[in-house]
Structure formats: C-alpha cells, structure tokens
Amino acid sequence: MSADVFLYKADPVRGAEWAALFAAKAPHIEFAQWPYEGDPARVRYLAAWLPPASLSCFPNLEVLFSVGAGINQFDLAAIPPQVALARMVEPGIVGGMVEYVTLATLSIHREWLAYREQQRAATWQARRVRPAGARRVGVLGLGVLAQAVLVQLRGLGFPCAGWSRSQHTIEGVDCYSGAEGLQAFLARTDILVCLLPLTDSTRGILDRALFAVLPRGAALIQCGRGPHLDQNALLEALDSGHLSQAVLDVCEPEPLPAGHPFWQHPRIMLTPHVASMTQPETAVEVVLDNIQRHHSGQVLTGLVERGRGY
C-alpha cells in the first residue's frame, strides 16, 4: 500500500526544511511540495498559507493545516465539512510574538522614537523615566499569543489587562470581555496591543470610536491583521496628538503602495509582517502530533471552530 501524502503549499525554502524534518521524524508519510503531480487521492494532509482554488481534487483530504496562526486567508465555505482545519499553534510563533510585542512596548515606554528624533537634531536632553508600573498595557485578544505576551509584560511590571469575546480569569491580568467590557478596558489602557483574529466581528475594530476612548497620549501596537485598522482614523488620531505613536506589523494591502502616508510618518514604526514566523522545527513537531491526535480521535491543537471564524 502506498504511503499517505502530506502536501505543503507555502514558502518553498521553508518547505525544504519541512521535508527534511518529515524524512527524519515521519518517514512513513510521503512529504510533497506544491505543485503536486502525484495521485491526488493519496493526499491526506495539506499545509498551506493560501490553499489551492479548489480542494475537491483531493477526495481523501482529512486535515488542512494553516502554516500561519491565522486562517482569515481561507474561504471557510470552500473547505469541505469533513476536513478538519487547524491553525498553527507552535512555540516558535509564540516566542516570536512575545519578543516583538515586548520590544515594541519597551520602545514606547522608554520613548525610543523621541530619542531618535532628538539624536537627529543633535539634542542631548533627558526625558523623565516613568516606571513600568505607571504604563498600563491592554491586549485585544486573550488567546495563545496574547496570554504569552501578557506573562512577559506582567513580569516587567506593566499593569496588564486583556479583552476577549468570552470572559477569562488570568492571574495578574484584568480581564474584560464583550462589547460591555470594551469601553472600560480601553479607558484604562496606555499601550494598546491588537492580537485579535480577523473575523467579521473584528474587521475595522481599530477605528475612530475606539481610539477616542483611549486616554490622550496612548499608543498602538498592531500585530493582528491589516483590515483590523481604519488607516484614516489612525492618521487623524496621531496628527491630532490623541495617540502618541503606532507600531504596525501588519497593514492593508501588504506591502503598502509607494507614497502611502504610513511610510514616512514620524510617529509610525512599520515592519513587514514579521512579528512572528512559523519555525519549521517546532511546527513539524506540532503537525505530527496533530496527525496522531487526528487518528486517535483527540482534539487537534489549534482546531478552528468554523462557526466563530477562528
């Protein structure tokens, strides 16, 4: 009997690393990279950033893995109901996000942008250093990434809060939920971090109304997805001084077109969707564990609940 095929359709360079890891750890599974020219009936697993236009050519597909933490790039209606869908939850992505948000939070807290401007102007001028305890961080989302970020920021002494759809209880974190909790959460937040999935309910959430509730001088760290943000609302809030600065890892579209105001804005730090990346070594461990879970009827790590869209 021929082996099951695991088909990979994403960055081919990292795909080569996945192939070597599969060969070493799961030689019983045949690893193939897109484009696939073998028998489509043998494909049981597909890992993709962007899936093929139609999945119907793989009649025996059992699990679709997103190689990223989000699944908003998938058309959920086009995925046959019997195919399980898992997003990527692996230590490499988590560690990268903890680093990025910590870096951004500390750079805001320690006024890195202002010192950069002062240096350019050859100005030697100390600004008062406030303790971390005086800077309140709030994270939109209380999922895998947000919770790991909050552990780190809480350890640095920042007063921490989080907002989610359902109510959570997390030691040392003030937890808010739902539409009724959002205003109070925003009103106590000096540094707002977005770590939400992109769904119909969260698209455009970073808008004028939301910014207006933040205290004057608050800052934004946007690590969710580009369409969470109303770009004009951000520019207005920055230009009026209501928001002091923004660190943006994601935008819409990616990359931004030449001449877009974000490129040159003195109060915006922009990075090209690099806050965290799936790391082949740890991702393949999780994927192989998930294949085992799938066969033994256990819940998959990162299983997407299609009804709620994340």
| Contact footprint for ligand NAP (CB under 6 A) | 69-70, 93, 97, 141-146, 164-166, 195-199, 201-202, 223-225, 249-250, 273, 275-276, 310
208 is a catalytic site residue: no
For residue 137, CA distances in Å to 170, 175, 290 come to 15, 12, 34
User: What does the alpha-carbon distance between residue 108 and residue 21 come to, in Å, rounded to a whole number?
Assistant: 39
CB of 188 to ligand NAP, least distance (A): 17
CB of 47 to ligand NAP, least distance (A): 16
225 is a catalytic site residue: yes
Beta carbon nearer to ligand NAP, 19 or 275: 275
Beta carbon nearer to ligand NAP, 225 or 267: 225
Q: Are strands 160-164 and 173-177 parallel, antiparallel or unpaired?
A: parallel
SS3 for 199? coil
Residue 45 phi, psi (nearest 5): -135, 140
Beta carbons of 43 and 61 less than 8 angstroms apart: yes
CB of 230 to ligand NAP, least distance (A): 16
Select which of 14, 110, 273, 306 is catalytic. 273
CB of 211 to ligand NAP, least distance (A): 17
Beta carbon nearer to ligand NAP, 141 or 280: 141
Question: How far out from the chain centre does Cα 65 lie?
Answer: 16
Select which of 165, 225, 293, 294 is catalytic. 225
Beta carbon nearer to ligand NAP, 51 or 70: 70
Q: Which two tokens stand for residue 166?
A: 């359902």
Question: How far out from the chain centre does Cα 192 lie?
Answer: 15
Q: Which residues are catalytic?
A: 225, 273
